[in-house]
Amino acid sequence: MRLFVSEGAPGSLPVLAAAGRARGRAELLISTVGPEECVVPFLTQPKVPVLQLDSGNYLFSTSSICRYFFLLSGWEQDDLTNQWLEWEATELQPALSAALYYLVVQGKKGEDVLGPVRRALKHIDYSLSRQNCPFLAGETESLADIVLWGALYPLLQDPAYLPEELGSLCSWFQTLSTQEPCQRAAETVLKQQGVLALRPYLQKQPQPSPPNGRAVTNEPEEELATLSEEEITMAVTAWEKGLGGLPPLRPPQNPVLPMAGERNVLITSALPYVNNVPHLGNIIGCVLSADVFARYSRLRQWNTLYLCGTDEYGTATETKAMEEGLTPQEICDKYHAIHADIYRWFNISFDTFGRTTTPQQTKITQDIFRRLLTRGFVLQDTVEQLHCEKCARFLADRFVEGVCPFCGYEEARGDQCDKCGKLINAIELKKPQCKVCRSCPVVKSSQHLFLDLPKLETRLEEWLGKTLPGSDWTPNSRFIIRSWLRDGLKPRCITRDLKWGTPVPLEGFEDKVFYVWFDATIGYLSITANYTDQWERWWKNPEQVDLYQFMAKDNVPFHGLVFPCSALGAEDNYTLVSHLIATEYLNYEDGKFSKSRGVGVFGDMAQDTGIPADIWRFYLLYIRPEGQDSAFSWTDLLLKNNSELLNNLGNFINRAGMFVSKFFGGYVPEMVLTPDDQRLLAHVTLELRHYHQLLEKVRIRDALRSILTISRHGNQYIQVNEPWKWIKGTEADRQRAGTVTGLAVNIAALLSVMLQPYMPSVSATIQAQLQLSPPACSVLLTNFLCTLPAGHQIGTVSPLFQKLENDQIESLRQRFGGGQVRKLKTAVVSLSISHGVTSLVSLSSPDLSLFPSLTLLLLHLQFFFPILARRVLGAKGNHSPGNIYNWRLGSFMATGSNSVVLFQAKVSPKPAVVDTVAATGPQQIQMLMDEVTKQGNIVRELKAQKADKNQIAAEVAKLLDLKKQLSLAEGKPPEAPKCKKKK
């Protein structure tokens, strides 16, 4: 068969991706034709891509070509896939062609481009989040995903047109974009030029007529109209049951133990390492996420045990102890208390918060080890290990740094490379360095024990085969485990030459301890054992217990692979993880959290900001890195607090309560529901169900949106029905005002319960204000009940949230650092203006932590920019205006990180006038001078106040940085740094 394509024809994307996906590629002959060539003899209008089949028939519809490839591989399409394809052809394509034409041919930007497609994008996002599947037609990828991805890719590959508020769409899009067939199709069609690669084709096409009419969507506003009669009747029936519809409360248990015939939920959060203060990313990644789920699980009346603790063994503790002149035990005691305090402040509802340095830990770890040993799953071998002569000890993995043997990344750790993610054997590192003294360690040999993972691999796969289907393992955790298994498991060393750890109960190993790889995950068991002597009822009870484990993605191998292997090999009927919930990473502003550089907010500092714990909880959960990395941003925090909490949620709940107090003397009025009110009930019920569906799947961030949606409906309902007007009218009018007020305050009561997992203190405040009865506070059903019946007396109502002011946020941003990318952007913009390259199209957010420092990067930029500018502009201006160039990190630095696009530049239609340089230069210099003066003052003030050493250092660094920028702008060589920066 022969495929006819044309340069820049967008249809080639899905077609090539489908061919790659369905392995139709091999038999495919590809011919490139001009955009106006008529390939299909019977069609008047030219059309590409076209597939000519061996029978002579032509397929001229893009999705039919894709479908054909799938059918050849034996993959049939179901109704849902057909529905998506029909929607793509009738709704998405008209809108998308218009958008692409505006963008590529007419050079429009922003909302002009996004406007026509926004509705369609929302529809996809809404469907993905509603049906709760990672893909359009279910749990697995289908033809629909390929066709829609291919259609959307030219537009959405530009981050400016990927609406980040549409979270489900974004994560779906990114999942597909990283797949190999899609990546290859994208490279072939767009040729690294972005959407402009479509230009040669699109400019030959007639201008598409703008899509008119309303698109087919299942969006909420339309759903109001399509609620069925049954749904409304059911919602009304449930509502009328009132407080009588609540089940009896479970009596509190102590200790909580699994019970036959009930749902028993065991929740763990990854154990934070004791000698570090956790930052916001650590908190949202495991402890806070698990807390929301634990609280939700209790609201569902499931029998719930939530546990966590500090991971205390290891070299890092020993070193810290040396530094601080304490014993390791004293260090652990000190930091354990700090951790416990932070989590208490964040209102984390642990049933027990333990630690790993207990006799139980030794007992259980040694027991598992002995069982593995007698069953032949432990190997013994000599290990070549790095020994630092200067520190006189073997170096643990985390105390070696060097160049990654796989990708050449310079700051690879001894066990894993942060950049390529591959596991490293510390002695394979190139140019190893002891992280403590910076001297080069030597290789020495030592006897060690290994867990024979290859021998356990079949058992593991068998277990995964049973566990994974239908479970709620997050896609990233599945992916990580799959890639490990694909590469094949290798024996893993489980002992270390240390003193601070669980002793190895074997002759000849008296001076060694277990490696955290082996024993940290056993901490969950020992912490439970310290909580109750009946711990085995939780941990040796896989039939009755549902184990949910929360962590950031770097912890997945320990929980999904190593511990299950140990437990399976020990053959003691251990409870294994049923749902492994891994988050992506949270970034800070535009970089990474960094303790050493003093960037980011850490657990203990959150308290000092004056922002209440619940607001922190809300915002962190709102941006939870679910499915993709996300970033903490001060401005966004302010925005979300002021818009979502203050204006939406707080406003609604406060108004509902105020009306009861003001108009009805604090007593909930009689409610006579009209059909409109009944529809609202059904609608709230629907959203409540959606909330449940999402939380059952541990989609924590998405479920929070449901709460906000209900409160938006509530606000609208009050706004439309205006109880404050009716209250002044006749008896009937007053009754209407009563119904509206009563229904609204009941929605507020429901919201207070739904909010409980997210904002426990705010929830309790609302419940106290409304005097909601204890049973109604402690249970959340799938139906919306009238829990505040007519005649119920509420308490005193007062506002729930405070406005955050710009100044306040700005000063916090100053205090905690950030904004590095902004600085870089400013520098790049001014450089490009002075070199005649205009229109920096976009500055992607590069991971600046890859660089030793921003200052150094700016220096390099200053040096290389003229060369790059010449390359872009071409020696004789032979590059056509409007072309976009990606400039990559590798061009600047010898980091080998070629793949990261630093920024894109667009060739200006005419060379920039020299005057602009002169006009911009002094202005920018003046600006920098002002900033230097300002920063100087800040540093002087801090020094005068004898402020914290780290804080001063951070501000000084900023000052130096500014000074360098200034000298660069003035064209002077930068001054040599006066003192070496301490690492």
Partner 1 sequence: MAAAAELTLLEKSLGLNKGNKYSAQGERQIPVLQTNNGPSLTGLTTIAAHLVKQANKEHLLGSTAEEKAIVQQWLEYRVTRVDGHASKDDIRTLLKDLNSYLEDKVYLTGYNFTLADILLYYGLHRFIVDLTVQEKEKYLNVSRWFCHIQHYPGIRQHLSNVVFIKNRLYTNSH
Residue 23 or 943: the one with the smaller Cβ distance to partner 1 is: 23
Tell whether residue 221 is a contact of partner 1 (CB under 8 A): no
Measure the CA–CA gap between 750 and 713, rounded to whole angstroms. Answer: 13
Rounded least distance, CB 83 to partner 1, Å = 4
Between the CA of residue 559 and those of 573, 695, 965, what are the distances in Å?
17, 22, 47
- Residue from 33, 89, 234, 605 touching partner 1 (CB under 8 A): that is 89
Between the CA of residue 666 and those of 17, 494, 738, 771, what are the distances in Å?
63, 65, 12, 11
Rounded least distance, CB 87 to partner 1, Å = 7
Q: How many residues comprise the chain?
A: 983
Taking alpha carbons only, the member of 171, 580, 214, 525 closest to residue 368 is 525
Tell whether residue 43 is a contact of partner 1 (CB under 8 A): yes
Tell whether residue 487 is a contact of partner 1 (CB under 8 A): no
Tell whether residue 63 is a contact of partner 1 (CB under 8 A): yes
Tell whether residue 111 is a contact of partner 1 (CB under 8 A): no
Q: Return the biggest CA–CA distance within the chain.
A: 93
Residue 55 or 382: the one with the smaller Cβ distance to partner 1 is: 55
Tell whether residue 222 is a contact of partner 1 (CB under 8 A): yes
- Separation of CA 528 from chain center: 30
Do residues 441 and 414 lie in contact, with contact meaning Cβ atoms separated by under 8 Å?
no
Tell whether residue 65 is a contact of partner 1 (CB under 8 A): yes
Residue 214 or 980: the one with the smaller Cβ distance to partner 1 is: 214
Tell whether residue 254 is a contact of partner 1 (CB under 8 A): no
Residue 143 or 286: the one with the smaller Cβ distance to partner 1 is: 143
Tell whether residue 72 is a contact of partner 1 (CB under 8 A): yes
- Identify the burial level of 466 via C-beta atoms within 10 angstroms of its C-beta, where 0-12 means exposed, 13-18 middle and 19 or more buried: exposed
Tell whether residue 59 is a contact of partner 1 (CB under 8 A): yes
Tell whether residue 23 is a contact of partner 1 (CB under 8 A): no
Binders in 198-217 for partner 1, by CB under 8 A: 213-217
- Residue from 2, 28, 38, 82 touching partner 1 (CB under 8 A): that is 82
Binders in 624-663 for partner 1, by CB under 8 A: none
- Residue from 87, 126, 335, 622 touching partner 1 (CB under 8 A): that is 87
Residues 6+ apart with CB under 8 A from 569: 371, 372, 375, 377, 451, 455, 456, 459
Mask of contacts with partner 1, 359-398, x by CB under 8 A?
----------------------------------------
Residue 131 or 951: the one with the smaller Cβ distance to partner 1 is: 131
User: Count residues contacting partner 1 (CB under 8 A)?
Assistant: 37
Taking alpha carbons only, the member of 816, 837, 817 closest to residue 828 is 837
Residue 80 or 277: the one with the smaller Cβ distance to partner 1 is: 80
- Residue from 29, 221, 226, 899 touching partner 1 (CB under 8 A): that is 226
Q: What is the DSSP string of 478-494?
A: HHHHHHHHHH----EE-
- Residue from 36, 86, 948, 975 touching partner 1 (CB under 8 A): that is 86
Residue 91 or 401: the one with the smaller Cβ distance to partner 1 is: 91
Tell whether residue 45 is a contact of partner 1 (CB under 8 A): yes
Tell whether residue 730 is a contact of partner 1 (CB under 8 A): no
Rounded least distance, CB 583 to partner 1, Å = 29
Do residues 910 and 877 lie in contact, with contact meaning Cβ atoms separated by under 8 Å?
no
Taking alpha carbons only, the member of 689, 746, 684, 685 closest to residue 710 is 684
The interface region with partner 1, picked from 62-70, 397-405, 421-429, 898-906 by CB under 8 A, is 62-70
Tell whether residue 470 is a contact of partner 1 (CB under 8 A): no
Residue 64 or 532: the one with the smaller Cβ distance to partner 1 is: 64
* Residue 393 bridge partners (DSSP): 388
The interface region with partner 1, picked from 65-73, 109-117, 346-354, 577-585 by CB under 8 A, is 65-73
* Residue 939 bridge partners (DSSP): none
Residue 65 or 321: the one with the smaller Cβ distance to partner 1 is: 65
Rounded least distance, CB 79 to partner 1, Å = 5
Task: Identify the residue whose tokens are 């070199």.
Answer: 835
Rounded least distance, CB 205 to partner 1, Å = 16
Task: Identify the residue whose tokens are 């299942």.
Answer: 218
- Residue from 3, 15, 17, 67 touching partner 1 (CB under 8 A): that is 67
Mask of contacts with partner 1, 126-165, x by CB under 8 A?
-----x----------------------------------
Rounded least distance, CB 308 to partner 1, Å = 39
Measure the CA–CA gap between 172 and 130, rounded to whole angstroms. Answer: 13
Q: At what angle do helices 854-873 and 820-834 cross, to 10 degrees?
A: 30
Tell whether residue 227 is a contact of partner 1 (CB under 8 A): no
Taking alpha carbons only, the member of 517, 591, 516 closest to residue 281 is 591
- Residue from 26, 29, 42, 140 touching partner 1 (CB under 8 A): that is 42
Task: Identify the residue whose tokens are 């005068």.
Answer: 944
Do residues 35 and 6 lie in contact, with contact meaning Cβ atoms separated by under 8 Å?
yes
CA angle 774, 775, 779 (to 5 degrees): 120
Measure the CA–CA gap between 347 and 288, rounded to whole angstroms. Answer: 9
Tell whether residue 228 is a contact of partner 1 (CB under 8 A): yes
The interface region with partner 1, picked from 49-57, 845-853, 863-871, 928-936 by CB under 8 A, is 49-57
- Residue from 26, 29, 79, 244 touching partner 1 (CB under 8 A): that is 79
- Identify the burial level of 949 via C-beta atoms within 10 angstroms of its C-beta, where 0-12 means exposed, 13-18 middle and 19 or more buried: exposed
CA angle 109, 112, 115 (to 5 degrees): 130
Task: Identify the residue whose tokens are 């059909």.
Answer: 675
Q: 955 φ, ψ to 5°?
A: -70, -35
Residues 6+ apart with CB under 8 A from 915: none
- Identify the burial level of 237 via C-beta atoms within 10 angstroms of its C-beta, where 0-12 means exposed, 13-18 middle and 19 or more buried: exposed
Measure the CA–CA gap between 180 and 182, rounded to whole angstroms. Answer: 5
- Residue from 26, 29, 41, 596 touching partner 1 (CB under 8 A): that is 41
Q: Is the dihedral of CA 289, 295, 296, 297 positive or negative?
A: positive
Residue 61 or 349: the one with the smaller Cβ distance to partner 1 is: 61
Tell whether residue 53 is a contact of partner 1 (CB under 8 A): yes
Tell whether residue 230 is a contact of partner 1 (CB under 8 A): no
Measure the CA–CA gap between 141 and 795, rounded to whole angstroms. Answer: 52
Tell whether residue 93 is a contact of partner 1 (CB under 8 A): yes
Measure the CA–CA gap between 2 and 24, rounded to whole angstroms. Answer: 11
Rounded least distance, CB 929 to partner 1, Å = 59
The interface region with partner 1, picked from 58-66, 170-178, 560-568, 943-951 by CB under 8 A, is 58-66
Residue 51 or 429: the one with the smaller Cβ distance to partner 1 is: 51
- Residue from 44, 140, 254, 730 touching partner 1 (CB under 8 A): that is 44
Rg over CA atoms, the chain:
31
Q: 588 φ, ψ to 5°?
A: -110, 120
Query: Tell me, what amino acid is at 730?
Result: T
Measure the CA–CA gap between 599 and 236, rounded to whole angstroms. Answer: 53
Tell whether residue 90 is a contact of partner 1 (CB under 8 A): yes
The interface region with partner 1, picked from 79-87, 350-358, 714-722, 815-823 by CB under 8 A, is 79-87
DSSP three-state, residue 698 = coil
Residues that bind partner 1 (CB under 8 A): 41-45, 53, 55, 57, 59-61, 63-65, 67-68, 71-72, 79-80, 82-83, 85-87, 89-90, 93, 131, 213-217, 222, 226, 228
